[in-house]
Amino acid sequence: MTVKACVFDVFGTVVDWRNSVARESAPFLARHGGSAIDPHAFATAWRKRYQPGMEECRSGRRPWTRLDVLHRENLELVLVDHGLDPKKIGEAELAEWNNAWRKLDPWPEAVAGLTRLKRNYIIAPLSNGNIALMTAMAKRAGIPWDAILGAEVAQAYKPQPEAYLRTAEVLMIRPDELCLVAAHNGDLAAARECGLKTAFVTRPNEHGPGQTGDLAPAQAWDWVGTDFQDLAGKMGC
């Protein structure tokens, strides 16, 4: 029983969304009367609307919708929450601001670790991010994916079982030949329920100073690494 492909959670596991979205948002905030708003708090507020946005699709109340579209809707909601009027900002700037999610920096060792893992395994994102978003992010950041998989290919959002099982299916491998790598115990638990192998890496700064969740493995995952370099070694690369 051998793992043939490693698929990765991306936001938080491969890339540092919080610092990157804060960096990208700061000039927009400054330009539109939000210079008193902390860009990191803004990034966190934007991200906080991520799960409720997808839940509309998971529940069936809304058809599957690209994350780029949900991010954009959430941007307008977060702006209003912070006392800014999206209409005054205008379409072109809102679209550009939303592209912040395509400009996320990988954690420092992530690309080197992925490059090692790529020697022995097919590597691909299994993210809730859509294909265009993941492709643009990888191109900018030099992430060497073999393929872009995830929610849009599966037409389902994690942690729905279809997101994991259809990913194995398009790779034409069994679930136990597929390993999910994630910094989130909940994601790994859902993958294990579907029969996938699991690898946990610690990202103690994903949510900034004082992070309390996901600091340690919650189950005996198949592999546990301090980061992607450590994991690559443990997975024989």
Question: Which positions lie near its own copies, rule CB under 8 A?
Answer: 66, 68, 122, 124, 130-132, 134-136, 138-139, 145-149, 152-153, 170-173
Smallest distance, its own copies to C-beta of residue 201, A: 23
When the beta carbons of 49 and 72 are compared against its own copies, the nearer one is: 72
Smallest distance, its own copies to C-beta of residue 134, A: 8
When the beta carbons of 172 and 220 are compared against its own copies, the nearer one is: 172
Smallest distance, its own copies to C-beta of residue 146, A: 5
Three-state secondary structure string covering the chain = CCCCEEEECCECCCECHHHHHHHHHHHHHHHCCCCCCCHHHHHHHHHHCHHHHHHHHHCCCCCCCCHHHHHHHHHHHHHHHCCCCHHHHCHHHHHHHHHHHHCCCECCCHHHHHHHHHHHCEEEEEECCCHHHHHHHHHHHCCCCCCCEEHHHHCCCCCCHHHHHHHHHHCCCCHHHEEEEECCHHHHHHHHHCCCEEEEECCCCCCCCCCCCCCCCCCCCCEEECCHHHHHHHCCC
When the beta carbons of 31 and 139 are compared against its own copies, the nearer one is: 139
Smallest distance, its own copies to C-beta of residue 4, A: 10
When the beta carbons of 39 and 106 are compared against its own copies, the nearer one is: 106
Smallest distance, its own copies to C-beta of residue 131, A: 5
When the beta carbons of 82 and 166 are compared against its own copies, the nearer one is: 166
